[in-house]
Structure 1
Amino acid sequence: MSLQMKLTAITLDCPDPLALATFYQQATGFEPHPKSDADFAGLSREDGLLIGFQRVDDYRAPRWPDQTVPQQFHLDFAAEDLDDAEAWLLELGAGKPDHQPGEDRWRVFTDPAGHPFCLVRR
């Protein structure tokens, strides 16, 4: 018997779930979960995938590429035009670290809570 699991949710720790959900909603177009509140906010994709954001007291943002506070994971998103997507993400409030190891293949950003994520060419 072969068992398979289906990924249904990814949850990120953060200091302000509603603010981080707003950033990712604007960036992805996912729909806000109707039961979002100040302690847990979620965004849903049509296929059922949920990205959740949970409030953590004394949250410490990951430090990338420095590992004093490790990133532990990161999300990857694809876009047709990296330059246009970069300008848009920066306008939404993303940060762009100086260290960019992907050259022209991908770019590293940080969300408003400090989580690193990558933008790759579709």
Structure 2
Amino acid sequence: LDLCLQQLTVKPSGDSVSFTHSPFFAEQLTAFKVWLDYGSQVRRPPEQLPIVLQVLLSQVHRVRALDLLGKFLDLGPWAVNLALSVGIFPYVLKLLQSSARELRPLLVFIWAKILAVDSVSLDE
């Protein structure tokens, strides 16, 4: 509750209140990027992956989240399977229906990675 109240700022005149967005999601995306840069060789699941999926719902951070998610999926089938296990499919499916042109290249790349891994599992 204290963190939420800290996001509200009352003007000195006392007649209006402004809201400051929480840095939580931006910080989680930064932590995910650090994991991609330095921790991905260990192949231990990043703690931020479920949060990155939640960030896809936010228009403010969506492009950055999709970019990082694409880099994560590019690590190989283990990363795609991990993302699928935490529920990426409904998020990507919903975003594919979006009319936002700037999302299309990222979404096509992510969708192709998912399909590539899915076709591998079908062949086995």
Please indicate the TM-score interval, normalised by the length of the shorter structure: under 0.3
Higher helix share: 2
Q: Which has the larger radius of gyration?
A: 2
TM-score (norm 2): 0.24
Higher strand share: 1
TM-score (norm 1): 0.25
